[in-house]
């Protein structure tokens, strides 16, 4: 179990932002489907909890769940929906990264999703066909189409091979895709197709501005870098330790010496009496002349006793 978790953690850390976005979408999809299965057996309606991550067409409802303008673009509920969106995103995401950075891809993904949600809400608010209706938006289509359109504008004549079609330029893929979305505006997913045009608008603005040498994702990425640096600084910050006043430890040898140090009254050496001093000088003179071995046993004993008294 630990090895599996370590492998997943390593793959996440080493993955590009393109793959990370795809991983998040797949993970959210699986979680939503598991909730749907559990809810089915307990009699809970899917819409009752799915609404918390979908983006509403009503601004007043969005004000109650502002996170939905971000969560909706990382969530899919239908199998075919996530399959086509991830294939679309992966294919054009790789082409995008050949000429742009990973940070620019992440920013454009967010831009496309937000602008798609704005166009979706504007359509439901002002178009007569949606009068008095509340719509709900889910899926990464708007974000994916932003990357498609941006890639096509930056490299219109870049050709890719499509099954049953052969080599075709990116500009024609973009044009055909927008035409399909336009024809679908009167269908059941008209709100979703309006969001697609919002994502396409974000991609077009990015591509056209990049051709002029201006990166509209720069401010977004500077903000993310600032947040990341702040979090890193906070994570590595260590509160200074309080300096506790410690009592100086007595040196081992000083302690020993202090314990062995005699009383101040006993430190003074006993002064020798005149008789002892005279006798000691006499014995020392004899040692000087004849050596210690010339002393008699009695003289050696007296030397010892006198030295001991005046020590």
Q: Give the DSSP per-residue string, the chain.
A: -HHHHHHHHHHHHHS-HHHHHHHHHHHHHHHHHHHHHHHHHTT--HHHHHTTTSEES-HHHHHH-TTHHHHGGG---SHHHHHHHHHHHHHHHHHHHTTS-HHHHHHHHHHHHHHHHHHHHHHHHH-GGGTT---EE-SSHHHHHHHHHHHHHHSTT-EEEETTTEEEEHHHHHHHHHHHHHHGGGSTTHHHHHHHHHHHHHHHHHHHHHHTT--TTHHHHHHHHHHHHHHHHHHH--PPPP----PPPPPHHHHHHHHHPPPTTTSSPPPPPHHHHHHHHHHHHHHHHH-GGGS-HHHHHHHHHHHHH--
pLDDT confidence tier of residue 1, bands split at 50, 70 and 90: low
pLDDT digits (tens, 9 = 90+) for 223-259: 988 998 888 787 776 666 666 555 555 554 444 444 4
Average pLDDT of the residues of the chain: 84
pLDDT confidence tier of residue 206, bands split at 50, 70 and 90: very high
The mean pLDDT of 266-274, rounded to a whole number, is 53
Query: Exposure of 243 by Cβ count < 10 A (0-12 exposed, 13-18 middle, 19+ buried)?
Result: exposed
Which region among 61-70, 89-98, 235-244 has the lowest average model confidence (pLDDT)? 235-244
The angle formed by the CA atoms of residues 96, 101 and 102, to the nearest 5 degrees, is: 90
pLDDT digits (tens, 9 = 90+) for 129-179: 888 789 999 999 999 999 999 999 999 999 988 877 888 999 999 999 999
Instruction: Give pLDDT, residue 101.
Output: 93
The mean pLDDT of 293-305, rounded to a whole number, is 74
Sign, Cα dihedral of 64, 65, 69, 73: negative
Q: Is the pLDDT of residue 286 over 80?
A: no
Instruction: Give pLDDT, residue 247.
Output: 57
């Amino acid at each position: 179990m630990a090895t599996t978790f370590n492998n997943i953690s390593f793959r996440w850390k080493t993955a590009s932002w393109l793959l990370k976005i795809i991983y998040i979408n797949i993970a959210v999809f699986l979680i939503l489907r598991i909730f749907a299965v559990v809810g089915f057996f307990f009699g809970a309606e899917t819409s009752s909890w799915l609404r918390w991550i979908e983006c509403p067409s009503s601004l007043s409802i969005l004000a109650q769940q502002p996170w939905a303008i971000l969560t909706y673009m990382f969530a899919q509920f239908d199998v075919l929906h996530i399959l086509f969106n991830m294939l679309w995103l992966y294919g054009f995401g790789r082409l995008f990264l050949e000429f742009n950075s990973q940070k620019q891809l992440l920013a454009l993904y967010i831009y496309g999703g937000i602008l798609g949600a704005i166009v979706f809400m504007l359509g439901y608010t002002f178009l007569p066909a949606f009068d008095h209706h509340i719509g709900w938006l889910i899926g990464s289509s708007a974000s994916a189409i932003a990357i498609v359109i941006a890639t096509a504008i930056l490299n219109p004549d870049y050709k890719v091979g499509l099954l049953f079609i052969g080599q075709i330029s990116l500009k024609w893929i973009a044009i055909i895709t927008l035409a399909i979305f336009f024809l679908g505006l009167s269908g059941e997913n008209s709100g979703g197709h309006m969001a697609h045009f919002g994502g396409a608008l974000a991609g077009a603005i990015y591509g056209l501005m990049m051709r002029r040498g201006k990166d509209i994702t720069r401010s977004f990425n500077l903000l993310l870098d600032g947040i990341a640096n702040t979090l890193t600084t906070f994570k590595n910050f260590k509160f200074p330790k309080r300096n506790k006043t410690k009592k100086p430890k007595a040196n081992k040898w000083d302690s020993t010496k202090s314990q062995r140090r005699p009383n101040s009254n006993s430190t003074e050496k006993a002064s020798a009496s005149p008789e002892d001093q005279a006798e000691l000088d006499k014995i020392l003179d004899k040692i000087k002349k004849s050596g210690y071995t010339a002393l008699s046993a009695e003289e050696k004993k007296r030397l010892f006793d006198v030295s001991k008294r005046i020590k």
